[in-house]
RNA sequence: CGGAGCGUAGCGCAGCCUGGUAGCGCACUUGCUUCGGGAGCAAGGGGUCGGAGGUUCGAAUCCUCUCGCUCCGACCA
């Protein structure tokens, strides 16, 4: 058995493996503030790549970036009834604006109480809606397409790095439209942007679909999501897009005069993805040697480790590496030469854990022969041995883009096979569903990988749906979404026995 | 907020039952050796044993309270 770069395997305990992967991969750590995280340079670099790639796509679809305040007057949140109810339990509230020194102790100055408490934004529908209400007067102002990159706070009970933190970073798009069709088209367009982004950039295959009524965003008419399958078979909601109808428009008086001069409520949408995506990337691609970052979001796509020996020959090595770095950069590749005075073997394994897509190791013989020795992080081992490849320098440089594309594609293919191969179809009754998923007492104790089930249902709402959700909850299951991509359906609803209307995906979730 | 478990060096842990004021592995520092690869030897540095009280001549160890973390549940991107 060869040694693995992480001290715990996915098999042993997936949650513990996740924590080790995040920590040893230098992505993030917990902070002195409960539930918040410190994102370290390597993790931040990944987020910057995600931002850059997604921001370009958001702008390509006609949206403009802007920035709204972190603080929202409490009365704003109260305007949309469902919205308040959905978020009330997890809001951070600012009530004072001054401290004072009392007998050497710093205390909140009761004199400095705010007239109206401020909420630290959990999302920005209300404060952006307030601006929309002033900005929109005419049908000529529509559609209004806005996006912002921001941090938000939701005071969560239980937190996990990247997956659920009290403060997280995201982008939130907010748009206003003249009618339902236009707003719905926007909602679905952005869902598609997310799907393509997740698959093309994160190499994370997802299923785009509509959330059942009980999983809707507070205040939305329709909520859509992209759902990704993690390596433990659980679903991760990786992005959401909401059609908000006229709920917020009515609550906040977002109206325009149409071509006939009539005052009309706007139809609004909102959509977002967060730093949770990074957790998704980790749980999609990570292995027992740590992270495997897809080349398109890797801060350094290629890390060059010179095998320094603290001798005069080192200079030749460093020169060779610098020249290689220059050539690779000319190919548009993000390269780092790691010449830190640390043992080469140590550096190699650090980059393995961080998941740099390609790790190049240059020794004296490589330098004089003009060769490049490298490892692909996606296919690190062959059997028990680390798979090291050697190429002539010129060939390596010429083929580098192809190499990176190949890694990106291989990571996607691996995850795609897992997703496609683990959606069970053909389940017709609730008993079969229960038998398949079983009552796993303890998910983390090697609960067998189950993936998801695709079942037919009649799309009930209200009490009927609540009852179904409760039955599923007993099995720790939730309805993830109804895929947009529906095949022809026949037969009966698994839950009600009524005529089925569509397929939904069911699984355990993060 | 309920249930379970855990807080001892950066990480992983032992010691606790049967009190006598800390230890192991990895990591870190220095030196020598080694050198196509997760090296060896030697010498070092680092801990108010989560915190506060209490019992005791003496507490990591026993008692009480408290804070935090992890997992499960409720909630959620």
- Encode pLDDT of A350-384 as tens digits: 999 999 999 999 998 999 999 999 999 999 998 87
- The CATH number given to whatever domain includes residue A301 is 3.40.50.800
**CA of residue A306 to C1' of nucleotide B43, angstroms:** 30
Nucleotide closest to residue A443 (CA–C1')? B72
Average pLDDT (A125-146) is 96
Structure confidence at residue A447 (pLDDT): 54
User: Are A415 and A285 in contact, with CB atoms under 8 Å apart?
Assistant: yes
Query: In 10 A of CB A155, how many CB atoms?
Result: 17
- Mark whether A149 and A77 lie in a shared domain: yes
- Whether residue A100 is contained in a domain is answered as no
- Mark whether A273 and A379 lie in a shared domain: no
Residue A166 structural domain: 14-81+122-285
Higher pLDDT, A25 or A87: A25
The last residue of a domain, from among A285, A312, A329: A285
- Mark whether A19 and A126 lie in a shared domain: yes
Smallest Cα–C1' distance to nucleotide B28: which residue has it? A342
**Using H for helix, E for strand and C for coil, what is the string for A362-407?**
ECHHHHHHCEEEEEECCCCEECCEECCEEEEHHHHHHCHHHHHHHH
Contacts 24+ apart (CB under 8 A), A136-142: A136/A176, A136/A254, A136/A255, A136/A256, A136/A266, A137/A256, A137/A257, A138/A256, A138/A257, A139/A178, A139/A256, A139/A257, A139/A258, A139/A259, A141/A256, A142/A176, A142/A177, A142/A178, A142/A182, A142/A256, A142/A266
- Mark whether A269 and A410 lie in a shared domain: no
Contacts 24+ apart (CB under 8 A), A6-15: A6/A288, A6/A289, A6/A290, A6/A353, A9/A288, A10/A231, A10/A232, A10/A286, A10/A287, A10/A288, A11/A288, A11/A446, A12/A446, A13/A444, A13/A445, A13/A446, A14/A231, A14/A232, A14/A444, A15/A160, A15/A444
- Whether residue A477 is contained in a domain is answered as yes
Residue pLDDT, tens place only, A468-495: 998 888 888 999 999 999 988 888 999 9
Structure confidence at residue A51 (pLDDT): 98
Q: What is the mean pLDDT of chain A?
A: 91
Residue with tokens 């190949």: A406
Structure confidence at residue A446 (pLDDT): 44
**CA of residue A105 to C1' of nucleotide B64, angstroms:** 28
Angle, alpha carbons A114-A116-A120 (nearest 5°): 90
- Mark whether A249 and A375 lie in a shared domain: no
**CA of residue A367 to C1' of nucleotide B40, angstroms:** 28
- The CATH number given to whatever domain includes residue A281 is 3.30.930.10
**CA of residue A105 to C1' of nucleotide B55, angstroms:** 33
Cα–Cα distance measured from residue A266 to residue A252, given in angstroms and rounded to the nearest whole number? 10
**CA of residue A41 to C1' of nucleotide B31, angstroms:** 34
Q: Residue A227, exposed/middle/buried by CB under 10 A (0-12, 13-18, 19+)?
A: buried
Angle, alpha carbons A504-A239-A232 (nearest 5°): 65
Of the pLDDT bands very low, low, confident and very high (cuts 50, 70, 90), residue A1 is very low
- Mark whether A50 and A183 lie in a shared domain: yes
**CA of residue A281 to C1' of nucleotide B53, angstroms:** 47
- Whether residue A94 is contained in a domain is answered as no
Torsion, Cα of A100, A104, A107, A109 (10° steps): -30
- Mark whether A22 and A50 lie in a shared domain: yes
How many percent of chain A have pLDDT more than 70?
Answer: 97
A399 CB below 7 A from strand B atoms: no
Query: In 10 A of CB A71, how many CB atoms?
Result: 14
Structure confidence at residue A19 (pLDDT): 85
Of the pLDDT bands very low, low, confident and very high (cuts 50, 70, 90), residue A444 is very low
Q: Based on the structure, what is the number of domains in chain A?
A: 3
Cα–Cα distance measured from residue A374 to residue A303, given in angstroms and rounded to the nearest whole number? 9
Residue with tokens 């009600």: A496
**CA of residue A336 to C1' of nucleotide B31, angstroms:** 32
- Whether residue A102 is contained in a domain is answered as no
- Whether residue A246 is contained in a domain is answered as yes
- Mark whether A484 and A405 lie in a shared domain: no
- Mark whether A278 and A355 lie in a shared domain: no
- Mark whether A145 and A20 lie in a shared domain: yes
Residue A297 DSSP one-character state: G
The last residue of a domain, from among A390, A418, A446: A418
Enter the tokens of residue A19: 């924590």
Smallest Cα–C1' distance to nucleotide B67: which residue has it? A34
Residue pLDDT, tens place only, A296-333: 999 999 999 999 887 887 888 999 999 999 999 999 99
Q: Residue A241, exposed/middle/buried by CB under 10 A (0-12, 13-18, 19+)?
A: buried
- Mark whether A258 and A304 lie in a shared domain: no
Nucleotide closest to residue A215 (CA–C1')? B76
Distances (CA, A) of A340 to A62, A156, A223, A304, A310: 44, 40, 49, 11, 12
A107 CB below 7 A from strand B atoms: no
- The CATH number given to whatever domain includes residue A453 is 3.30.110.30
The last residue of a domain, from among A386, A418, A450: A418
**CA of residue A122 to C1' of nucleotide B66, angstroms:** 31
Mark the nucleotides of strand B covered by protein, meaning any atom under 7 Å from a CB. Answer: 1, 11-12, 27-28, 34-39, 68-77
- Whether residue A104 is contained in a domain is answered as no
A269 CB below 7 A from strand B atoms: no
Average pLDDT (A375-404) is 93
- Mark whether A276 and A359 lie in a shared domain: no
Smallest Cα–C1' distance to nucleotide B26: which residue has it? A7
Between A44-48, A97-101, A183-187, A408-412, the lowest mean confidence (pLDDT) is in: A97-101
Interface residues 336-355 of A with strand B (CB < 7 Å) = 342-346, 348-349
- Whether residue A116 is contained in a domain is answered as no
């Amino acid at each position: 058995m060869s040694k693995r770069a992480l001290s715990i395997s996915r098999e042993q305990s997936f949650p513990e493996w996740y924590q080790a992967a995040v920590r040893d991969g230098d992505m993030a750590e917990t902070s002195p503030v409960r539930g918040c995280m410190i994102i370290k340079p390597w993790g931040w670099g990944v987020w910057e790549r995600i931002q850059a790639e997604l921001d370009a796509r958001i702008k390509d679809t006609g949206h403009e970036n802007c920035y709204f305040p972190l603080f929202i007057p409490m009365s704003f949140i109260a305007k949309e009834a469902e919205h308040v109810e959905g978020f009330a339990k997890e809001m951070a509230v600012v009530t004072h604006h001054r401290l004072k020194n009392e007998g050497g102790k710093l205390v909140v100055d009761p004199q400095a109480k705010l007239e109206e408490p401020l909420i630290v934004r959990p999302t920005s529908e209300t404060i952006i809606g307030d601006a929309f209400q002033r900005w929109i007067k005419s049908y000529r102002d529509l559609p209004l397409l806005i996006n912002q990159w921001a941090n938000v706070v939701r005071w969560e009970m239980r937190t996990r790095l990247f997956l659920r933190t009290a403060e997280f970073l995201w982008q939130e798009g907010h748009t206003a439209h003249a009618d339902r069709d236009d707003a719905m088209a926007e909602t679905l367009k952005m869902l598609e942007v997310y799907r393509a982004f997740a698959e093309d950039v994160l190499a994370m295959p997802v299923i785009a679909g509509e959330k059942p009524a009980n999983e809707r965003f507070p205040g939305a008419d329709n909520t859509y999501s992209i759902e990704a399958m993690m390596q433990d078979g659980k679903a991760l909601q990786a992005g959401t897009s909401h059609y908000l109808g006229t709920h917020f428009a009515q609550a906040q008086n977002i109206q325009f005069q149409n071509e006939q001069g009539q005052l009309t409520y706007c139809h609004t949408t909102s959509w977002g993805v967060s730093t949770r995506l990074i957790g998704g990337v980790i749980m999609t691609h990570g292995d027992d040697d740590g992270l495997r970052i897809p080349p398109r979001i890797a801060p350094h796509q290629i890390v060059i480790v010179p095998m320094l020996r603290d001798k005069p020959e080192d200079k030749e090595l460093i020169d060779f590496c610098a020249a290689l770095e220059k050539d690779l950069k000319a190919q548009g590749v993000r390269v780092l030469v790691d010449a830190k005075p640390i043992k080469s073997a140590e550096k190699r394994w650090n980059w393995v854990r961080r998941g740099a897509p390609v790790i190049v190791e240059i020794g004296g013989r490589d330098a004089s022969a003009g060769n490049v020795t490298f490892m692909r992080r996606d296919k690190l081992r062959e059997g028990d041995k680390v798979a090291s490849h050697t190429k002539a320098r010129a060939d390596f440089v010429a083929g580098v883009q192809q190499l990176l594309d190949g890694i990106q594609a291989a990571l996607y293919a691996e995850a795609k096979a897992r997703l496609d191969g683990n959606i069970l179809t053909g389940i017709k009754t609730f008993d079969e569903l229960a038998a398949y998923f079983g009552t796993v007492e303890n998910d983390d104790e090697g609960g067998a990988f189950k993936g998801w089930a695709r079942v037919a249902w009649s799309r009930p709402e209200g009490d009927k749906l609540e009852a179904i959700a409760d039955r599923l909850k007993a099995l720790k299951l939730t309805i993830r979404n109804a895929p947009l991509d529906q095949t022809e359906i026949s037969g009966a609803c698994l839950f009600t026995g009524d005529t089925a209307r569509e397929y939904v995906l069911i699984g355990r979730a993060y």
